[in-house]
Structure 1
Amino acid sequence: MATLLLQCLPVALISARALEPVTLQLKWQHAFQFAGYYAAQELGYYRQAGLDVSLREAVPGLDVTAEILSGKADFGVGSSNLLLDRKAGKPVVALAVIFQHSPLVLIAAGHSHRQNIHHLMGKRIMMGPQSDELRAYLKREGVLPAGIKQQTHSFHSYDLIEGNTDAQSAYLSNEPYYYDQLGFAYQVYTPRSAGIDFYGDTLFTSEREIQRHPERVKAFRAASLRGWEYAMAHPQEIIDLILAKYSQKTPREVLNYEAAAMVDLMRTDLLPIGYMHPGRWRHIAEVYAEIALLPENFSLDGFLYDANPSVNYAFLYGILAAVLAVVTVVGAAAVYIYRVNKKLKHSLSIVTQTEQRLKIFSTAIQQSPTSVIISGPDNIIQYVNPKFSSETGYTAAEAIGRTPSFLQSGITERATYGDMWRCLKRGELWSGELVNRRKNGEIYWEETHIAPVKNAAGEITNFVAVKLDISERKQAHDRLAHLAHYDFLTNLPNRSLFFERVIQALALAKRNKGKLALMFIDLDKFKPINDAHGHAVGDLLLQEAARRMSACLRDSDTVGRIGGDEFVVLLPDVAGAEAALLVAEKIRIALNQVFVVDNKILSISTSIGIAIYPEHGHDDISLAKHADFAMYHAKTSGRDNVQVFQAS
């Protein structure tokens, strides 16, 4: 936040001038998904562009396109379905693509190496209103609408956990976090595995806005992209900003997870933010055509914004054409002779240019920072570049003549390879992630893109694979996910993860008509030890206390740390208060034993409060309140004791 404030100072020094008011309509509620726009606003990029921008969050059911076309907003955040709006006669124009890959996926219950997309046949699936790419994906995989039971999406993750549906459309950057928190087993199916690679969030406006305010559109787009560049380089600052100014509905841990997931979706390491290619939009239009939502060869004319349009010289060309027509008649004979000589010279030039291009392409592959493999139609390797050798440890001689399967680690699911080959045999590009093994036995993650090469007859002659080692990115993602869920000092679940488990345990207890216990634990006399011997000694004592408490519990139980010397324990499927008291006493006695820390003999005691579901509350909030009240009663009763909540 300090950096943000420092960068905002120049804006205050800009001479007073009238700022044009414009409104950006977001597609959902405030989240890191819109980080770049927050950055552009708070860093003054919009004001420097002469714009006074209002960022408006969406409400469920809002039609963003309708807001733009009605004039209620000037710019909006949409997705690939803008093509369908265009086909419906709505004059929308895509300005810049923010997500190079759509985050939309299907998430199904369960996780097995034998599970694949075809297991959804006959199952219940909740599909959102803009899930056309998922419908195309299911169709490509032979899972037709008649073969599934489509449900209206509740936008509630617990419907999948509680068995109210078998699969849901979801965002890869959000929902997996909650399932991971709850320890819920799930399977993710992405359209990219079938060669369907849609764009995600896309900044757009209307033809009217571009015609009336071309400079404003250009300025808004440039300032927004500048904000996105800053946001992705400084995610923690933007998360602080979101929580301080825009919304506190989403916990920091979720925003951290979303920011990390967006790195893979935006691919700023490969492409500039905002980049969009007509060929990708053409691919999206063709997929829509597959499911009859667009006609074949749907025109993209006018749909893609050109930030630097060329000048229209049509009128001047008309005059020049008339003049040249006269000149041509006069010089026809001279031109004929000239052309005969030029053809011979041009043919020689083409040969030279072709050789030069081949040399350039060969050098590019040889010097590529990514691993490249070229194999024949039988998948036998014919070529590997130097990066392949440095990445895997295998020389070209060791790789050529073998199939790439010798790199397999056995960890990647067979279904992934099945999806890959179905896609390649259709002659389509396949993109995905594989877990492979280097020559030295080390496991590593690869982002892989494989393209079939065809001859003039349409036959596949080669496969070209481009691979990027993403092991460090995966490890960083795992570390970030762990830090978001666990206390850094004791490695116990933090408040967020602990109470997610409480909510999950409550759902099971309600379903099974069972009981659970929630304990609040406070370490008596810890503060004097911490003050007298320092935080280093205090931290070591807390770590040992965490180990002792964990040793008193079953594998199904959970102990978490929610504050300095405050701990919580969850006992799911407990017989009642008497059983919970036995566990609490076991913990109290364990913590009463002396601690030997840094050659110092230290002693503490423990005050424990217990609340039981359903006797003392039916939700996590009431149970926590009553367990905390019981702990306070234990402290006021002389400490070093256990109390069960008693309603007054």
Structure 2
Amino acid sequence: MQYVRNAAEQIVVLAVLAVLRFFDLAGPAPFWVFVLLLGAGGVLQQPPVQRRLAGDAPGGRLWFRVASRIAFNTTLIYAIGWGAMLAVAHLGLLSRFVRQDGARAWRPLAVCSAVSLLLGQVAIALGLFSYLPQPEVHGVATLIALGIFSTSAVLGEAVQRREQAESALRQSEELFRTMVQDGADVITLTEADGSVRFVSPNAERILGRSAESLLGDAYWKILHPDDLEASRAFVQELVDTPGAEQTIEVRILRADGVWRWHEVVLRNLFEHQGVGALLGHHRDVHDRRTTHDQVAHAATHDALTGVLNSAAFQLSLERALADGATGGYPVGVLFLDLDGFKQVNDALGHAAGDETLRLVGRALTGCCRDRDVVGRIGGDEFAVLLNGVAGSAQAEELAASVIARVDDEQAADRPRVGCSVGIAIAAPGTSDVQALLRQADAAMYVSKRRGRNGYEVAGLGTGSAPGGAALHR
């Protein structure tokens, strides 16, 4: 049954020939010749035979396959007696081979068609029956050969252009697929309401999560809580600005529970017909961000104690004074110098001295308020920026707390250090950082001359003496 379906074309042609023979329009050849030729054609049509003719290779032996089909068709049409008039059937073969083998099939078919027509016309000249008289039949054959050749060339060129366009499209699709699946960026499409409608498959590799699990509002659920509000504002601003492109860095939770910094570049493409969304590129920049933070921290912090270095502290003080001048709240400074630090170094060595400095740094950080800033000015000198104090009384309470905390942190069985603290309160509108530090430094020396573990307020002449007794002058 499958054979009959594959040979349906030959069966139809045989039926037509039977009708033509009834009207004496199919030449003088015996009818069994037509049956034999069409039977052979039916065999050639079978897929297994076609594979064998191709050498079991898709598209193989093209010239041989074309030549065999052209030879069969040409023999049949010249046996019917109409010769080149029926050679237009070669165009059907052209269509079939071009569809099957592409643009490269047109040249073999045009050449084989011309050669077969030439041989057919030679046979007619040698006495083969033809319904068309000579020499007209030769002129018709020439015109038909030219028509087949030009038609083959035009069709071949058109198919070649289509193949080139399809190849370019496949390459583009493959490039896009590679970028989406194997690239370093997770690509997303986000709607105006913030819901994510597309996530590239490489999210599985980069985030440890399937793309499907991140659709809708799921992507928002893996953003760090501290970054969520800024991210929503970031998206809303882009939604309201057609064509805009902006970048933000946020922390995203991997499936293994690790927070990673990602750089997210979003572009508003709602007006782009093929996109209609916010196009996002999410790249893991955790290593770069961590390195940047480490470098920035090293540039602004004291390597030994971890508190701000002198330059960064003075910059923070400058900003605090500017903000204080704007907001109208007082800014204070505690200037600390360690008492007995040289004796610790001499008795126990520099390693013990370094550990003492680290201890003081931890003590200062631990007893200060969240809005205060601790810095190491140099050597055994520290400073605390008091961001907003309710006058000198509160500053004195904080100074006493610092002195007690440093004393409590030290071991009792080794040489101990004390603190001398100078306090300076900036008047509203003050912007001179160095003047404020000099006031606190001068007050600290006043306290140091009285003894260890004391403080002095610049300009007030009050402080604490050793043992915590208040002095009033």
TM-score (norm 1): 0.39
Does the CA contact (< 8 Å) of 1:517 and 1:572 recur in 2?
A: yes
Per the alignment, residue 347 of structure 1 pairs with 161
Distance, in Å, in 2 between the alignment partners of 1:452 and 1:579 is: 52
Q: Secondary structure at the match of 2:414?
A: strand
Q: Is the alpha carbon distance of 1:420 and 1:556 closer, same or farther for their aligned partners in structure 2, counting shifts above 3 Å?
A: closer
Residue correspondences, number: 303
C-alpha distance after superposition, 1:346-368 (max 9, x if no partner): 33542444444434443444332
Per the alignment, residue 417 of structure 1 pairs with 235
Distance, in Å, in 2 between the alignment partners of 1:512 and 1:465 is: 40
Q: Secondary structure at the match of 2:203?
A: helix
Q: Determine if the alignment matches structure 1 residue 485 to structure 2 residue 303.
A: no
Superposition deviation, residue 528 in structure 1: 2.8
Q: Secondary structure at the match of 2:205?
A: helix
Does the CA contact (< 8 Å) of 1:431 and 1:449 recur in 2?
A: yes
AA aligned to 1:520 is F
Superposition deviation, residue 546 in structure 1: 2.8
Q: Determine if the alignment matches structure 1 residue 606 to structure 2 residue 422.
A: no
Distance, in Å, in 2 between the alignment partners of 1:647 and 1:510 is: 22
Per the alignment, residue 443 of structure 2 pairs with 630
Q: Is the alpha carbon distance of 1:437 and 1:636 closer, same or farther for their aligned partners in structure 2, counting shifts above 3 Å?
A: closer
Q: 2:263 aligns with which of 436, 447, 454?
A: 447
AA aligned to 1:518 is V
Identity of aligned residues (%): 27
Instruction: Indicate the structure (1 or 2) with the bigger Cα radius of gyration.
Output: 2
| Range with greater deviation from structure 2 (631-640 or 532-541) | 631-640
Per the alignment, residue 399 of structure 2 pairs with 584
Superposition deviation, residue 472 in structure 1: 2.9
Distance, in Å, in 1 between the alignment partners of 2:317 and 2:170 is: 68
Per the alignment, residue 290 of structure 1 pairs with none
Q: Determine if the alignment matches structure 1 residue 393 to structure 2 residue 208.
A: yes
Q: Determine if the alignment matches structure 1 residue 467 to structure 2 residue 285.
A: no
Does the CA contact (< 8 Å) of 2:180 and 2:200 recur in 1?
A: no
Q: Is the alpha carbon distance of 1:348 and 1:562 closer, same or farther for their aligned partners in structure 2, counting shifts above 3 Å?
A: same
Q: Secondary structure at the match of 2:237?
A: helix
Q: Is the alpha carbon distance of 1:356 and 1:437 closer, same or farther for their aligned partners in structure 2, counting shifts above 3 Å?
A: same
Q: Is the alpha carbon distance of 1:627 and 1:422 closer, same or farther for their aligned partners in structure 2, counting shifts above 3 Å?
A: closer
| Aligned residue runs from structure 1 range 465-614, under 5 A | 465-507=280-322, 510=325, 516-571=331-386, 573-574=388-389, 577=392, 580-592=395-407, 595-596=410-411, 601-614=414-427
| Range with greater deviation from structure 2 (568-577 or 470-479) | 568-577
Q: Secondary structure at the match of 1:412?
A: helix
Does the CA contact (< 8 Å) of 2:196 and 2:219 recur in 1?
A: no
Superposition deviation, residue 628 in structure 1: 1.8
Does the CA contact (< 8 Å) of 1:561 and 1:567 recur in 2?
A: yes
Distance, in Å, in 2 between the alignment partners of 1:466 and 1:508 is: 38
| Aligned residue runs from structure 1 range 310-321, under 5 A | none
AA aligned to 1:609 is G
Does the CA contact (< 8 Å) of 1:594 and 1:604 recur in 2?
A: no
Distance, in Å, in 2 between the alignment partners of 1:525 and 1:373 is: 62
Superposition deviation, residue 376 in structure 1: 10
Superposition deviation, residue 565 in structure 1: 0.8
Superposition deviation, residue 524 in structure 1: 1.8
Q: Which has the higher contact order (CA 8 A, sep 6+)?
A: 1
Superposition deviation, residue 390 in structure 1: 0.9
Distance, in Å, in 1 between the alignment partners of 2:339 and 2:298 is: 28
Superposition deviation, residue 392 in structure 1: 1.9
Moved over 6 A (4+): 336-339, 374-380, 451-455
Q: Is the alpha carbon distance of 1:527 and 1:390 closer, same or farther for their aligned partners in structure 2, counting shifts above 3 Å?
A: same
C-alpha distance after superposition, 1:40-59 (max 9, x if no partner): xxxxxxxxxxxxxxxxxxxx
Superposition deviation, residue 507 in structure 1: 4.3
5+ residue gaps, structure 1, are 1-335
Does the CA contact (< 8 Å) of 1:593 and 1:603 recur in 2?
A: no
Distance, in Å, in 2 between the alignment partners of 1:621 and 1:452 is: 49
AA aligned to 2:340 is K
Q: Is the alpha carbon distance of 1:488 and 1:362 closer, same or farther for their aligned partners in structure 2, counting shifts above 3 Å?
A: same
Distance, in Å, in 2 between the alignment partners of 1:349 and 1:632 is: 89
Does the CA contact (< 8 Å) of 1:506 and 1:516 recur in 2?
A: yes
CA RMSD in angstroms, aligned pairs only? 4.4
Distance, in Å, in 2 between the alignment partners of 1:550 and 1:632 is: 23
Q: Is the alpha carbon distance of 1:570 and 1:340 closer, same or farther for their aligned partners in structure 2, counting shifts above 3 Å?
A: closer
AA aligned to 2:290 is Q
Q: Is the alpha carbon distance of 1:470 and 1:356 closer, same or farther for their aligned partners in structure 2, counting shifts above 3 Å?
A: closer
Q: Hey, which of these two has a bigger chunk of helix by percent?
A: 2
Superposition deviation, residue 516 in structure 1: 4.7
Distance, in Å, in 1 between the alignment partners of 2:329 and 2:192 is: 59
Distance, in Å, in 1 between the alignment partners of 2:177 and 2:365 is: 59
Distance, in Å, in 2 between the alignment partners of 1:563 and 1:603 is: 20
